[in-house]
Chains A and B, each alone.
Chain A
Amino acid sequence: MVLGAVALGVVVVLAVIVFAPTGVTVAFFTLLISAGVVVFAGWRRLVQVVVVLILVTFFASVLIRLQPGDPTNAIIPFSTEEQREELREELGLNENIFVQYWGFLNDFVRGDTRYYQSAGQQVSGQPVWDRLGTALPVSLLLMLYAQILALAIAIPLGILTAYRAGSRFDKGVNTTAFGFLALPNFVIAYILIYYLAVENDFFPTQGYTTFGESATEHFKSLFLPAVALSLGLIAAYMRLLRSDMIQTLQEDFITMARSKGLSTRRILLLHALRPSSFTLLTVAAINLGALIGGVIIIEVIFQLPGVGLLLFQALNADQYPAVQTLIAIIAIVYVLANVVVDVLYAVLDPRIRHARTAR
C-alpha cells in the first residue's frame, strides 16, 4: 500500500516534469490522478478537489477582466486593430465571463495554453508550454534542494534540542531560530549574495547552469538560492519538531523503551521520531504555499529561469494570457500536492490507516 502511494507520487511528479501538451496525455493523467485520489482519499475528496480546481481556474481566467479598458492594447502594443480584434476573439473577451472561462478551460485541457505574444508579430506567439518545459524542472529542483537541506539540518537539530531541552545549547538554538523566522528569505538572499558572491566570488550572483552542462556549476548556482529558501524552513521545522518531540519524550512508551535497556540513540530515532514526524509532515504541507511564494522571489532575485521568473517576466511584459496560464498551473500543482500530502498522511500513520479500513 505504501509502495503504491509512492509509485503514484513518482509517476505524478514525472508526468508534471515531462508533460507533453497533447490532449490524450492530459486526459490520461487526469484519469490516473483522479483514480489515485479516490482510492486513497475517497470520493468526497475527489469532488472537493474538482470543485476547488474549477474555482481556481475560474479565478485565473477572470483576472484579465479586472483590467480597465482594453487589455489587448497592453498585450500586443504596436499592432493593428484587426490583430487586436482577433486576439480579443481568441481570448473570449467579447463574450461574457462564463463563455470566456469555458473557452479558457477548453484550451487549457486540450493543451493549447496560451501564448507569449511578441510585439509586432501576428497574434500567435510562442506557446507557454515550451518555456514551461525548461522552467518547471528548475523550480522543482530548487524546491527539492531547499526541502532536503532544511530537513537535513532541522531534524537533527530538533531531536537534539528536544533531548537537551532547557540547556544552553537548546536556548541558543531556539533564539537563533526565532531570529531566522523574522528574517525574510530575500533578506537572507541579499546577505548571502553580498558576502559570498559579490565580495568573495565563491558563488555566482545570478544565473543558472543545468546539471547536464556541469554538475558543479549546477549545484553552485542553486546553492545560495536553496540556502536562502531553507533557512526559514529550518527554523520553522526545528521548532515544531522540538516541541512535538518534547511531548513525545514524556510519553510512557519512551520510559518503557528505556526500561528495555535500549540505547538513547535508538530510542530517539526509532521510537520518538516516528510519532513526531507526522506534525512535521503537516507543517511541510502547510508551508508548501509559502514555499511557492518564496521560490518565486528567490528566482527573481537570482535570475533562475524557473516558473517564478516566467511569471515575473510575463507580468512585467503585460502578457496577461500567459500570466493566466501560469497562475492556473501553479494553483493546480499546489492543490494536487496538498491532496498527495493528505494521502501520504493517512498512509503513514497506522492509526488512521486502520481506522479508515475499519469503517
Chain B
Amino acid sequence: MSPKRRKAQLDADERFPSAPLDGPLLEVDGIKTHFKTPRGLVRAVDGVSFSLERGRTLGVVGESGSGKTVLSRSIMGLLPKKNVVREGSVRFENREVGQLPPQEMRHIWGSQMAMVFQDPMTSLNPVMRVGKQITESLLYHLDISRTYANELAVALLESVGIPEPARRMREYPHQLSGGMRQRVMIAIALACGPKLLFADEPTTALDVTVQAQILDLLQSQQRERFMAMILVTHDLGVVAGRADEIAVMYAGKIVERAPTKVLFTEMRMPYTEALLQSIPKLSDKSHTRLRVIGGRPPQLINPPTGCRFAPRCPYVQDKCRTEEPPLMPAETPGHEFRCWFPVGTPEGKAALERNRQAGIAPAAEDVAGNGKTATTAAAPSETA
C-alpha cells in the first residue's frame, strides 16, 4: 500500500471509530432519491426510513419500478453525480454518511459496506483474472503484502465453496459457471470483512437449482461474520426463510414492514397480500390460473395524489385516491403499514365487499377475456 494511501486509510479509521455495539448499525431516515430527466423528476425513492441492527437481515421486496435497487444504491451512495437529488439522512455506525462526497465514501465502500450485484457475468470485469479482482480490494483497503493477499483470496474462494480455489484464481470470469461467478462476487464483497452487505437480487440471474445454494451461502457467511445484510429481491419466496425483517416497497416508498413471521401471518397492506397470492402453490390444482396483480407499474414522475397503489388495489375507496396514507404502526411491535383499509380489519373487509358488489375491477388484466378480472375472480375467501 502506498504511503499516501496508508495515511488516507488511517484518517478514515479515525473518522469512523466503531459505534457502540448496542446501537443500530444503520439508521435510514426519510431518504429520497430523485433523478432529473427531461421528462420530469423521477422519484425513485420517495421517503424511506428504517433501522438495522448488526447481524440482522432485512429483506426488501418489490416489483420492477418499486425503487428497491435505487434504494440500496442510495444508502451506499453509489449514484451518478449528475442530475441526482438526494435528501434525508443515512447514519452508519452513528456517523452521518448520507451527504458525503465519493472521495470520502470510498473509505467505507468495500471495507465497511459492500454489495453483491445481480448479474455476475456483467458485474465482473471480463478481462481481469478472478484472483486479481479479489486481491485488488484487499490490497487497497488493508495494509498487507501481495503474497498474503493471494493467500487470503484463496481462502476466501474456498470459504464460498469454490473447488480448487488456487486454480480458479488465475481464471477469467467467462470460464466459470454462473453459480461460481456469483460465489466469486460474494467473495469479493466479503473480502475486507464489511459490516453491512447489500445483496441486490443475488439469485435472479441464476438457475433455480443454484439459487438455494447461494442464498444458503449468504446466510452462513452472515452468521459467521455477524454481518448485517439487506437482501433486495422481487421474490417473496427468497426472503421468506432468510430474513429477520421484511420491508415491502412500492413506488419508492415502504408500504409495509414487519418481522418475517408477522408479515406472513398478519399482513395489512393489500399489496403484500396480492404479492403473496401471486406465488403459485404446490397445493393448487394443475391449470389453476396464475393470479396476477393487474394494472401497470406506478408512475414515478408526477405521481398521482393519494395512495400509489390505488389504481390496482382491490380494496380501494375514495379516500385512497385523495389522501395518501402515512406509515401507521400495527398491533405487533415492529410492524408498520400504509393503508386506509387494511387487510384483515373490519374496515378492510367492508371495503372489499363494497367493491365486489359494485363490480369495481381495479384496472386488472382481463386474463380470460370474459369480463371478469383475475382479482375479482379470486374470491376473497382465499386466505393467504
Enumerate chain A interface residues (CB-CB to B < 8 A): 166, 251-253, 255-264, 266, 270-271, 274-275, 349-351, 354
A260 & B122 in contact (Cβ 8 Å cutoff): no
A260 & B172 in contact (Cβ 8 Å cutoff): no
CB contacts between A and B, total, < 8 Å: 81
Known: A252-B117, A255-B123, A271-B128; 6 extra A-B contacts, CB below 8 A, are: A256-B185, A256-B188, A258-B78, A258-B102, A274-B125, A350-B172
A260 & B124 in contact (Cβ 8 Å cutoff): no
Q: Which residues of B lie under 8 Å from residue A264 when comparing CB positions?
A: 102
Given the known A-B contacts A271-B128, A354-B172, are A258 and B123 also in contact in the complex, defined by CB atoms under 8 Å?
A: no
Given the known A-B contacts A252-B117, A261-B111, are A351 and B78 also in contact in the complex, defined by CB atoms under 8 Å?
A: no
Nearest CB of chain B from residue A245's CB, rounded to whole Å: 14
Nearest CB of chain A from residue B21's CB, rounded to whole Å: 24
A259 & B109 in contact (Cβ 8 Å cutoff): yes
Q: Which residue of A lies closest to B81 (CB)?
A: A164
Enumerate chain B interface residues (CB-CB to A < 8 A): 76, 78, 82, 102, 105-111, 114-115, 117-119, 122-128, 136-137, 140-141, 172, 174-175, 185, 188-189
7 A-B contact pairs sorted by A residue (CB < 8 Å): A252-B122, A256-B123, A261-B109, A274-B125, A350-B174, A354-B174, A354-B175
In the bound complex, what is the Cα–Cα distance between A351 and B76 (angstroms)?
32
Given the known A-B contacts A260-B188, A261-B141, are A253 and B106 also in contact in the complex, defined by CB atoms under 8 Å?
A: no
Q: Which residues of B lie under 8 Å from residue A350 when comparing CB positions?
A: 126-127, 172, 174
Q: Which residues of A lie under 8 Å from residue B76 when comparing CB positions?
A: 259
In the bound complex, what is the Cα–Cα distance between A262 and B136 (angstroms)?
8
B109 & A258 in contact (Cβ 8 Å cutoff): yes
Given the known A-B contacts A251-B122, A253-B122, A256-B117, are A262 and B140 also in contact in the complex, defined by CB atoms under 8 Å?
A: yes
In the bound complex, what is the Cα–Cα distance between A258 and B111 (angstroms)?
12
Q: Which residue of B lies closest to A350 (CB)?
A: B172
Q: Which residues of B lie under 8 Å from residue A354 when comparing CB positions?
A: 172, 174-175
A255 & B127 in contact (Cβ 8 Å cutoff): no
Q: Which residue of B lies closest to A255 (CB)?
A: B78
Given the known A-B contacts A261-B109, A261-B137, are A351 and B127 also in contact in the complex, defined by CB atoms under 8 Å?
A: yes
Q: Which of A166, A253, A263 contacts B124 (CB 8 A)?
A: A253
Q: Which residues of B lie under 8 Å from residue A275 when comparing CB positions?
A: 125-127
Q: Which residues of A lie under 8 Å from residue B172 when comparing CB positions?
A: 350-351, 354
Q: Which residues of B lie under 8 Å from residue A262 when comparing CB positions?
A: 106, 110, 136-137, 140
Given the known A-B contacts A253-B122, A351-B127, are A166 and B107 also in contact in the complex, defined by CB atoms under 8 Å?
A: no
A261 & B78 in contact (Cβ 8 Å cutoff): no
Q: Which residues of A lie under 8 Å from residue B126 when comparing CB positions?
A: 253, 275, 350-351
Q: Which residue of B lies closest to A358 (CB)?
A: B175
Given the known A-B contacts A350-B127, A351-B126, are A260 and B140 also in contact in the complex, defined by CB atoms under 8 Å?
A: yes
Given the known A-B contacts A274-B127, A274-B128, A350-B127, are A259 and B110 also in contact in the complex, defined by CB atoms under 8 Å?
A: yes
